Amino acid sequence: DQQVKQNSPSLSVQEGRISILNCDYTNSMFDYFLWYKKYPAEGPTFLISISSIKDKNEDGRFTVFLNKSAKHLSLHIVPSQPGDSAVYFCAASSSGAGSYQLTFGKGTKLSVIP
Amino acid sequence: GAGVSQSPSNKVTEKGKDVELRCDPISGHTALYWYRQSLGQGLEFLIYFQGNSAPDKSGLPSDRFSAERTGGSVSTLTIQRTQQEDSAVYLCASSLVMGSPEQFFGPGTRLTVL
Protein backbone atom coordinates (compact mmCIF):
# COMPACT_ATOMS: atom_id res chain seq x y z
CA ASP A 1 0.00 0.00 0.00
CA GLN A 2 1.50 3.31 -1.12
CA GLN A 3 1.80 5.72 1.76
CA VAL A 4 3.01 8.62 -0.40
CA LYS A 5 1.29 9.19 -3.71
CA GLN A 6 2.12 11.44 -6.61
CA ASN A 7 -0.79 10.92 -8.94
CA SER A 8 0.58 12.88 -11.90
CA PRO A 9 3.42 11.02 -13.58
CA SER A 10 4.20 14.02 -15.76
CA LEU A 11 3.58 17.76 -16.08
CA SER A 12 4.41 20.24 -18.85
CA VAL A 13 4.60 23.96 -18.16
CA GLN A 14 5.58 26.96 -20.22
CA GLU A 15 8.72 28.82 -19.17
CA GLY A 16 7.88 31.70 -16.82
CA ARG A 17 4.63 30.13 -15.63
CA ILE A 18 3.95 28.45 -12.32
CA SER A 19 4.55 24.71 -11.85
CA ILE A 20 2.46 22.98 -9.21
CA LEU A 21 3.40 19.45 -8.17
CA ASN A 22 1.08 17.58 -5.85
CA CYS A 23 1.57 14.86 -3.27
CA ASP A 24 -0.82 12.99 -0.98
CA TYR A 25 0.00 10.80 1.99
CA THR A 26 -1.94 8.35 4.10
CA ASN A 27 0.21 7.81 7.21
CA SER A 28 -0.79 10.30 9.92
CA MET A 29 2.51 9.60 11.73
CA PHE A 30 4.46 11.45 9.06
CA ASP A 31 5.67 14.75 10.50
CA TYR A 32 8.31 15.91 8.06
CA PHE A 33 8.04 16.25 4.32
CA LEU A 34 10.67 16.81 1.68
CA TRP A 35 10.92 17.40 -2.04
CA TYR A 36 13.80 16.02 -4.05
CA LYS A 37 14.74 16.76 -7.64
CA LYS A 38 16.38 14.14 -9.82
CA TYR A 39 18.16 14.48 -13.13
CA PRO A 40 18.86 11.36 -15.26
CA ALA A 41 21.84 9.29 -14.09
CA GLU A 42 22.19 11.36 -10.92
CA GLY A 43 21.03 10.80 -7.37
CA PRO A 44 18.12 12.83 -5.96
CA THR A 45 19.02 16.32 -4.75
CA PHE A 46 17.31 17.81 -1.72
CA LEU A 47 15.19 20.81 -2.69
CA ILE A 48 12.99 21.99 0.16
CA SER A 49 11.27 20.60 3.23
CA ILE A 50 8.52 21.38 5.70
CA SER A 51 7.75 20.30 9.22
CA SER A 52 4.20 19.37 10.17
CA ILE A 53 4.07 22.33 12.56
CA LYS A 54 4.10 24.67 9.56
CA ASP A 55 1.81 25.07 6.61
CA LYS A 56 4.17 26.89 4.28
CA ASN A 57 7.89 27.11 3.62
CA GLU A 58 9.46 29.30 0.98
CA ASP A 59 12.93 29.28 -0.54
CA GLY A 60 13.46 31.53 -3.51
CA ARG A 61 11.35 30.32 -6.42
CA PHE A 62 10.23 27.23 -4.48
CA THR A 63 7.36 27.10 -1.99
CA VAL A 64 5.95 24.05 -0.30
CA PHE A 65 2.44 24.08 1.15
CA LEU A 66 1.17 21.53 3.66
CA ASN A 67 -2.50 20.81 4.39
CA LYS A 68 -2.45 18.34 7.25
CA SER A 69 -6.21 17.88 7.44
CA ALA A 70 -6.25 16.82 3.79
CA LYS A 71 -2.91 14.97 4.06
CA HIS A 72 -1.78 16.88 1.02
CA LEU A 73 1.25 18.88 0.11
CA SER A 74 2.27 20.74 -2.98
CA LEU A 75 5.41 22.27 -4.44
CA HIS A 76 5.10 25.54 -6.34
CA ILE A 77 7.86 26.71 -8.65
CA VAL A 78 7.53 30.24 -9.94
CA PRO A 79 8.70 31.33 -12.40
CA SER A 80 9.48 27.97 -13.98
CA GLN A 81 12.75 27.71 -15.90
CA PRO A 82 13.94 25.12 -18.45
CA GLY A 83 16.60 23.98 -15.97
CA ASP A 84 13.81 22.93 -13.62
CA SER A 85 12.98 20.07 -15.99
CA ALA A 86 13.57 16.93 -13.92
CA VAL A 87 11.73 14.27 -11.93
CA TYR A 88 10.44 15.55 -8.60
CA PHE A 89 9.96 13.17 -5.70
CA CYS A 90 7.87 13.84 -2.65
CA ALA A 91 9.12 12.12 0.52
CA ALA A 92 7.93 11.83 4.10
CA SER A 93 9.40 10.73 7.39
CA SER A 94 8.24 10.10 10.92
CA SER A 95 10.36 11.16 13.89
CA GLY A 96 8.70 8.38 15.83
CA ALA A 97 10.03 5.73 13.47
CA GLY A 98 13.54 6.08 14.84
CA SER A 99 15.49 5.58 11.67
CA TYR A 100 14.18 8.63 9.81
CA GLN A 101 13.84 6.50 6.71
CA LEU A 102 12.17 8.37 3.91
CA THR A 103 9.07 7.06 2.18
CA PHE A 104 8.96 8.28 -1.39
CA GLY A 105 6.29 8.79 -4.00
CA LYS A 106 6.83 7.53 -7.54
CA GLY A 107 7.77 10.95 -8.84
CA THR A 108 6.43 13.52 -11.30
CA LYS A 109 8.40 14.35 -14.41
CA LEU A 110 8.32 18.10 -14.99
CA SER A 111 9.05 19.49 -18.42
CA VAL A 112 9.46 23.26 -18.72
CA ILE A 113 9.02 24.33 -22.31
CA PRO A 114 11.10 27.32 -23.45
CA GLY B 1 34.96 15.11 -3.34
CA ALA B 2 32.40 16.48 -0.95
CA GLY B 3 29.44 14.33 -1.97
CA VAL B 4 28.34 10.74 -1.48
CA SER B 5 30.12 8.43 -3.89
CA GLN B 6 29.08 4.96 -5.05
CA SER B 7 30.79 2.26 -7.05
CA PRO B 8 30.44 0.76 -9.51
CA SER B 9 28.17 3.12 -11.44
CA ASN B 10 26.89 0.20 -13.51
CA LYS B 11 26.93 -3.54 -12.86
CA VAL B 12 25.70 -6.28 -15.16
CA THR B 13 25.63 -9.76 -13.72
CA GLU B 14 24.18 -13.16 -14.43
CA LYS B 15 21.32 -14.59 -12.44
CA GLY B 16 22.60 -16.53 -9.45
CA LYS B 17 25.83 -14.56 -9.00
CA ASP B 18 26.67 -12.46 -5.94
CA VAL B 19 27.28 -8.71 -6.22
CA GLU B 20 28.76 -6.09 -3.90
CA LEU B 21 27.89 -2.41 -4.10
CA ARG B 22 29.93 0.21 -2.29
CA CYS B 23 29.03 3.55 -0.74
CA ASP B 24 31.31 6.27 0.61
CA PRO B 25 29.22 8.74 2.62
CA ILE B 26 29.99 12.39 3.18
CA SER B 27 32.80 12.72 5.72
CA GLY B 28 31.40 13.25 9.20
CA HIS B 29 27.92 12.01 8.39
CA THR B 30 26.92 9.47 11.00
CA ALA B 31 23.73 8.15 9.40
CA LEU B 32 23.80 6.06 6.21
CA TYR B 33 20.87 4.70 4.22
CA TRP B 34 20.44 2.33 1.29
CA TYR B 35 17.46 2.65 -1.06
CA ARG B 36 16.61 1.09 -4.39
CA GLN B 37 14.57 2.39 -7.28
CA SER B 38 13.01 -0.13 -9.62
CA LEU B 39 11.79 0.96 -13.04
CA GLY B 40 8.80 3.31 -12.75
CA GLN B 41 8.80 3.19 -8.99
CA GLY B 42 9.74 5.51 -6.17
CA LEU B 43 12.71 4.93 -3.93
CA GLU B 44 12.31 1.98 -1.58
CA PHE B 45 14.08 2.00 1.79
CA LEU B 46 16.37 -0.98 2.42
CA ILE B 47 18.59 -0.47 5.46
CA TYR B 48 19.84 2.24 7.83
CA PHE B 49 23.03 2.60 9.87
CA GLN B 50 23.55 5.09 12.69
CA GLY B 51 26.94 5.19 14.38
CA ASN B 52 27.68 1.95 16.23
CA SER B 53 24.03 1.07 16.78
CA ALA B 54 22.48 -2.08 15.34
CA PRO B 55 21.26 -1.31 11.81
CA ASP B 56 17.59 -1.03 10.92
CA LYS B 57 17.18 -3.84 8.38
CA SER B 58 13.40 -3.61 8.15
CA GLY B 59 13.42 -2.74 4.45
CA LEU B 60 15.56 -5.60 3.16
CA PRO B 61 13.37 -7.62 0.76
CA SER B 62 14.90 -11.02 1.48
CA ASP B 63 17.73 -12.75 3.33
CA ARG B 64 19.77 -12.64 0.11
CA PHE B 65 20.37 -8.97 0.92
CA SER B 66 22.85 -7.86 3.57
CA ALA B 67 24.87 -4.77 4.32
CA GLU B 68 27.68 -3.74 6.57
CA ARG B 69 29.33 -0.50 7.50
CA THR B 70 32.96 -0.65 8.54
CA GLY B 71 34.47 1.89 10.88
CA GLY B 72 31.37 4.01 10.76
CA SER B 73 32.15 5.14 7.24
CA VAL B 74 32.14 3.02 4.07
CA SER B 75 29.21 0.68 3.53
CA THR B 76 28.84 -2.39 1.33
CA LEU B 77 25.50 -3.80 0.17
CA THR B 78 25.74 -7.46 -0.83
CA ILE B 79 23.13 -9.32 -2.86
CA GLN B 80 23.61 -13.08 -2.99
CA ARG B 81 22.25 -15.35 -5.71
CA THR B 82 20.90 -12.40 -7.68
CA GLN B 83 17.51 -12.65 -9.38
CA GLN B 84 16.16 -10.67 -12.32
CA GLU B 85 13.79 -8.78 -10.01
CA ASP B 86 16.85 -7.39 -8.20
CA SER B 87 17.53 -5.21 -11.26
CA ALA B 88 17.23 -1.61 -10.09
CA VAL B 89 19.22 1.49 -9.26
CA TYR B 90 20.66 1.18 -5.77
CA LEU B 91 21.08 4.54 -4.03
CA CYS B 92 23.04 5.37 -0.93
CA ALA B 93 22.37 8.45 1.19
CA SER B 94 23.92 9.97 4.28
CA SER B 95 22.88 12.59 6.80
CA LEU B 96 24.82 14.54 9.37
CA VAL B 97 23.13 13.28 12.51
CA MET B 98 20.21 11.16 13.49
CA GLY B 99 17.13 13.31 13.53
CA SER B 100 18.17 15.22 10.45
CA PRO B 101 15.61 14.33 7.82
CA GLU B 102 17.58 15.86 4.96
CA GLN B 103 19.51 13.05 3.31
CA PHE B 104 22.18 13.54 0.66
CA PHE B 105 22.23 10.96 -2.09
CA GLY B 106 24.96 9.45 -4.20
CA PRO B 107 24.59 8.92 -7.97
CA GLY B 108 23.53 5.30 -7.55
CA THR B 109 24.60 1.94 -8.96
CA ARG B 110 22.52 0.59 -11.82
CA LEU B 111 22.31 -3.18 -11.39
CA THR B 112 21.16 -5.35 -14.26
CA VAL B 113 20.65 -9.06 -13.66
CA LEU B 114 20.46 -11.05 -16.89
**Going along A1-114, which residue ranges are E strands?**
4-5, 10-14, 19-25, 32-38, 45-51, 56-59, 62-67, 72-77, 86-93, 103-104, 108-113
- Strand-pair partners of B21: B77
Compute the mean pLDDT over every residue in chain A, rounded to the nearest whole number.
Answer: 93
* Polymer length in residues for chain A: 114
Please give, rounded to a whole number of angstroms, the shortest distance from the CA of A92 to a CA of chain B: 9
Q: Is A99 on the interface with B (CB under 8 A)?
A: yes
Q: Which pLDDT belongs to residue B55?
A: 87
pLDDT(A9) > 90: yes
Handedness of CA B100, B101, B104, B108 (dihedral sign): positive
Q: Which pLDDT belongs to residue B42?
A: 85
Q: Which residue in the set B91, B99, B105 is minimally distant from A100, CB to CB?
A: B99
Average pLDDT for A63-78: 97
Q: What is the dihedral of CA B2, B102, A40, B41, to 10 degrees?
A: 140
Which of B107, B74, B109, B63 is CA-nearest to residue B90? B109
B25 DSSP assignment: P
Q: Which pLDDT belongs to residue A18?
A: 98
**In a 3-state reduction of DSSP, which class is residue A80?**
coil
Q: Which residue in the set A32, A95, A105 is minimally distant from B42, CB to CB?
A: A105
The identity of residue B6, as a single letter, is Q
Q: Report chain A residues whose CB lies below 8 A from the CB of B31.
A: 100
Cβ within 8 Å, pair A95-B105: no
Determine phi and psi for A62, rounding to 5 degrees.
Answer: -110, 130
C-beta separation of B73 from B4 below 8 A:
no
In what side-by-side order are the strands of the sheet with A72-77? A4-5, A19-25, A72-77, A62-67, A56-59
Average pLDDT for A59-81: 97
More confident call, A108 vs A100: A108
Cβ within 8 Å, pair A100-B48: yes
Cβ within 8 Å, pair B42-A41: no
Nearest-Cα residue of chain B relative to residue A94: B101
Burial A38-61 (b: 16+ CB within 10 A, else e): beeeebbebbbbbebeeeeeeeee
Q: Which pLDDT belongs to residue A2?
A: 86
Cβ within 8 Å, pair A101-B108: no
Q: Which pLDDT belongs to residue B98?
A: 61
pLDDT(A100) > 80: no
Cβ within 8 Å, pair B107-A103: no
> How would you write the pLDDT of chain B (114 residues) with one tens digit per residue?
579 999 999 999 999 999 999 999 999 888 999 999 998 888 999 999 988 788 888 899 999 999 999 877 899 999 999 999 999 999 999 988 765 678 899 999 999 999
Q: Which pLDDT belongs to residue B75?
A: 95
Q: Which pLDDT belongs to residue A98?
A: 62
Q: Which of residues 24-63 of A touch B (CB under 8 A)?
A: 32, 34, 36, 41-46, 49
Q: Which pLDDT belongs to residue B99?
A: 58
